[in-house]
Structure 1
Amino acid sequence: MESDDLAQLLRTTDPATGLRAADALRRVAERVEAMHVAEARRAGWSWEQIGDALGVTRQSAHAKYGKDPHHV
């Protein structure tokens, strides 16, 4: 889906279409976040630094990304 298409879907007044677009946007954001967490870990960032950058605790960042080898 192109970003222009997604932007148009997010402006819709149809709840079903808008909710599907919001879900697609959330999935993209999760993939981007996971990719950058993995890059940060490869660059030597601590879980505390990653948590700070994400606005969460180090424990939350580690719980979400620390145990899944597909994330890091």
Structure 2
Amino acid sequence: MTQQALAASAAGDDPAEGLRAVRALRELADRLEALQVERARRLGWSWQDIAGALGVSRQAVHKKYNRRI
């Protein structure tokens, strides 16, 4: 399913379909976030820089991604 179709399903009238679409979008967002955090670290970004871009604390982003990278 395309991202546009997922977004449409998430906003639709069928709660079962909508919730499945929300879950799929959340999983996509998580994968994209991890990819960009890894890319930022490879480019020399600090945990504080990444946290600021994501709108979270440095500690939160470090705890979530430090072992993955």
Q: Does the alignment reach a TM-score above 0.5? A: yes
Q: How much identity, in percent, do the aligned residues show?
A: 51
* 1:16-66: CA deviation from partner (whole Å, max 9, x where unpaired): 110000000000000110000000000000001111110011110000001
For the pair 1:3 / 2:3, whether they are aligned, the reply is: yes
* Counterpart in the other structure of 2:57: 57
Q: Which residue of 1 aligns with 2:26?
A: 26
TM-score (norm 2): 0.91
Structure 2 portions without partners, runs of 5+: none
Q: What TM-score comes out, normalization by structure 1 length?
A: 0.88
Q: Where has structure 1 moved over 6 Å in runs of 4 or more?
A: none
Structure-2 separation of matches of 1:63 and 1:49: 15
Relative contact order higher in (CA < 8 Å, ≥ 6 apart): 1
Structure 1 stretch 7-16 or stretch 55-64: which is displaced more?
Answer: 7-16
**Equivalent residue pairs, number:** 69
Aligned equivalent of 1:35: 35
